Amino acid sequence: MTVFFVSFWERRIIIPFRRGTPGWLITTIKTKTYATDTYQRTIAKALKGKYALGAFNVNNMELIQAIVEACEEEKAPLILQISKGARQYANPVYLKKLIEAAVSLSNVPIAVHLDHGDTFDLCKQCIDEGFTSVMIDASHEPFEKNVEICKKVVDYAHKFNCSVEGELGHLVGAQFDEGEEGGAHSTSGHYTNPDEAVKFVKESGVDSLAVAIGNSHGAYKFKGEQHLDLERLKAIKKALMDAGLGDYPLVLHGASSVPQYLVAEINKYGGKMPDAQGVPEADIEVARRVGCTKVNIDTDLRLAMTAGIRKVFTETPKEFDPRKYLGPARACVKDLVRHKVKDVLCCAGHAFD
């Protein structure tokens, strides 16, 4: 008997017919969502163990291979994230099949997450496709509307054992939070307010919350001193705990550290990335210990891949075989991911807890 996964939520068992009967009997068995159950258990284990899960954005084969191989070697659980843009670029069917291939070749837990879903319909589509979790990002809406949209997604997702991530606040970087006075936490600024976080989680029912504490997307996160508002993060965590929500999982978006060795490599081989800087890894380590159980990483992957490609193009300008430059680029991404899961997120060795 051969058992293999044909999707994120099905197992298909192939059983040969009796002797003398040609062909194969193919039986599809709907089971409890294996990957979703894994996602929920790994989140709980990460909270208990004070490590974080790397949530890596993917949109092509090389990125998926590099990330999964690195985590397999380090025995680290992981989350593969797919954004709306990635779905548009690569086609959801291609991405799904690539991830299914990765799952079949790997032993570590792999969750599949929709990153920054902007509509209920997109979230529903991904839930129906078997994603283990989705993010509905209505943070640009007024508070009550944000709650309303998130609750609608939660009500649908939970029917399928799918987890939902919401976001409160705006990822504007370490800029002055409009409305902040005397160190208080305003309700009109860009950063996440601890009391509003409690209200938001209770009313929306989201399973995890992405917070705004000075983080932002991209390779140019800060002007001047690099820092996150870690005291605010601690206040959010405490407020959730005091409100009876337990050790509630928080999410850190815009968490790429923009390694300066990669920026230097890109610039050395023809790139122009002046003043690129990210979140200090020391801040990410503190956030992990406080309770940011899911840490999103995208920009760093792009930097690693770009550095690898640029080096080949510069050193061997006659090269035109994609394997000769995508291969080294994939190796750069793999090295980066191994460092992240081992030295920053500290999830290496926890795949089989």
Give pLDDT tens digits for 255-267: 888 999 999 999 9
Mean pLDDT of the chain: 84
User: Quick one: how many helices (H) and strands (E) in the chain?
Assistant: 12, 11
Distance CA 184, CA 103 (A): 46
Q: What is the pLDDT of residue 33?
A: 36
Q: What is the pLDDT of residue 38?
A: 63
Higher local confidence (pLDDT), 348 or 15? 348
Q: What is the pLDDT of residue 226?
A: 64
Q: What is the pLDDT of residue 222?
A: 56
Q: What is the pLDDT of residue 27?
A: 30
Distance CA 186, CA 208 (A): 22
| CATH architecture of the domain with range 34-344 | Alpha-Beta Barrel (3.20)
Q: What confidence tens digit (pLDDT) does each residue in 56-84 have?
A: 999 999 999 999 999 999 999 999 999 99
Q: What confidence tens digit (pLDDT) does each residue in 116-168 have?
A: 999 999 999 999 999 999 999 999 899 999 999 999 999 999 999 999 999 99
Q: What is the pLDDT of residue 41?
A: 82
Q: Domain coordinates of the chain in residue numbers?
A: 1-31, 34-344
In this model, does residue 192 exceed pLDDT 80?
yes
Burial class (CB in 10 A: 0-12, 13-18, 19+), 16: exposed
How many C-alpha atoms does 249 have within 13 Å on its Cβ side?
26
Structure tokens at 175: 């800029």
Q: What is the pLDDT of residue 214?
A: 80
Q: What is the pLDDT of residue 21?
A: 33
143-149: which pairs have CB atoms within 8 A and are 24 or more residues apart? 143/168, 143/196, 143/200, 146/200, 146/204, 147/200, 147/203, 147/204, 149/120
Q: What is the pLDDT of residue 30?
A: 33
Distance CA 303, CA 332 (A): 9
Q: What is the CA radius of gyration of the chain?
A: 21
Selecting among 115, 177, 229, 298, the annotated active-site residue is 115
Average pLDDT over residues 194-223: 86
Structure tokens at 180: 């902040």
Confidence of residue 349 (pLDDT cuts 50, 70, 90): very high
Confidence of residue 224 (pLDDT cuts 50, 70, 90): low
Distance CA 284, CA 344 (A): 7
Query: What SS3 class is residue 175?
Result: coil
Higher local confidence (pLDDT), 331 or 39? 331
In this model, does residue 290 exceed pLDDT 90?
yes
Left, alpha or beta for 277 (phi > 0: left; psi -120 to 50: alpha)? beta
Q: What is the pLDDT of residue 120?
A: 97
Distance CA 218, CA 333 (A): 17
What distances in angstroms separate CA 30 from CA 15, 102, 211, one per listed residue? 16, 21, 36
CB 53 within 8 A of CB 293: yes
Higher local confidence (pLDDT), 141 or 3? 141
Q: What is the pLDDT of residue 324?
A: 98
Task: State CA 179 to chain mean position distance.
Answer: 30
Confidence of residue 221 (pLDDT cuts 50, 70, 90): low
Q: What percent of the chain has pLDDT over 90?
A: 70
Annotation marks residue 242 as catalytic: no
In this model, does residue 96 exceed pLDDT 50?
yes
What stretches of 6-83 show up as alpha helix (H) in DSSP? 34-49, 61-74
In this model, does residue 99 exceed pLDDT 80?
yes
Q: What confidence tens digit (pLDDT) does each residue in 160-172 have?
A: 999 999 999 876 5
Distance CA 169, CA 180 (A): 14
Average pLDDT over residues 48-53: 94
Q: What is the pLDDT of residue 9?
A: 40
In this model, does residue 304 exceed pLDDT 90?
yes
Confidence of residue 181 (pLDDT cuts 50, 70, 90): very low
Distance CA 318, CA 99 (A): 33
Average pLDDT over residues 238-247: 97
Q: Which residues pair with 196 in a beta bridge?
A: none
